[in-house]
Amino acid sequence: MRSIIRAKSLGIVLSIRPGGWSLLLLVGAAMGLGGCAGIKWNKDFTPKNKYYIGRSVSAQVLNQYKVYEDPQATRYVNLLGQTLAKFSDVPEPYKGYHFIILDSPEVNAFAAPGSFIFVSRGMLRICATEDELAAVLAHEIGHIQHEHGVKVIRKSRNWAGLVKIGKFIAQATTDSEIAELADKFGDDIGNAVGTMLRKGYGRSAEKEADSAGIEIMHRTGYDTNAVITMLKKMEKRVKPGSTGFGSTHPSPSVRIDAIKSLIKSPPAKANAARQARFDKALMAARQ
């Protein structure tokens, strides 16, 4: 026997066997009770989740590179980077932004999830002005804004293996559950580090980060032409197949073609005070 409900005003016709009502009732009740219990079914990675991912990724970075210990240079890079970050779409991540100089001759800069941004001394050496360094840092903030590091994990995770409704509610409290999650966490961190340091996020992600970086520079008031200047320098310095920036980013000429139309203002005049503070703060770091 079938019971039929017609709701003409909504144009809906439900045709369900009596037994089917029980199932519908259960689904409805589950939705209601789920909502009442505060279970958020549509949550993705929260800023806190991203912070914990980023901290472990950053620990792996610091296990491979030495931090450059220069308080003056570190303060300056943080002043510039954190100022730019305030003009981004993600001005306040879970525990703030941290800009770290790596004592490496490699020309490189990268952003870990959770807002840890690394720039090498090799990269500082090829920046001649504050605007050029702003272009590098704003590009990395663009990666964080678009969550490129987290997207690597989203793609790689074996989501299905983790869907267990009981565990979902209990939020992994037993030792074996924590051990299982820690193993998966380790795999994910490995994936994220490999992508960030060796493979790169890919052409479309770089284009997104370039575009976001230009917008951040524009909002902050820096000369967006510095992005083109930096890319031209990279083209000269970074050889195809080289490590660091050369292996993780598309060819600078391809990037220049993609972003030319985004640069709206003519090159700005140099500012003596800005140049003097750049030279002073990074004098030792750029040697």
Nearest residue (CB) to other proteins, 133 versus 234 = 133
Among 6, 13, 15, 164, binds other proteins (CB under 8 A): 164
CB of 270 to other proteins, least distance (A): 10
Of 13, 92, 199, 243, the one binding other proteins by CB under 8 A: 92
Q: Which is nearer to other proteins, 150 or 234 (CB)?
A: 150
- Nearer to other proteins among residue 214 and residue 234 (C-beta): 214
Which among 73, 47, 123 is positioned nearest to 55, based on CA atoms?
A: 47
> Taking CB under 8 A as the criterion, which residues in 93-132 touch other proteins?
93-96, 98-100, 116, 130
Instruction: Provide the CA 264 distance to its chain's centre, in angstroms.
Output: 26
Does 225 bind other proteins (CB under 8 A)? Our answer is no
Q: Which two tokens stand for residue 251?
A: 């060819």
Residues binding other proteins: number (CB under 8 A): 90
Candidates 1, 7, 10, 12: give the one binding other proteins (CB under 8 A): 1
Complex with other proteins: residue 211 or 271, whichever CB lies closer: 271
- Interface positions, 230-249, toward other proteins (CB under 8 A): none
Using CB under 8 A as the criterion, what x/- string covers residues 7-46 for binding other proteins? -----------x--xx-xx--xx-xxxxxx---xxxxxxx
Piece of 196-204, 239-247, 252-260, 273-281 that binds other proteins (CB under 8 A): 273-281
Q: Residues 160, 240, 261, 287: which binds other proteins (CB under 8 A)?
A: 160
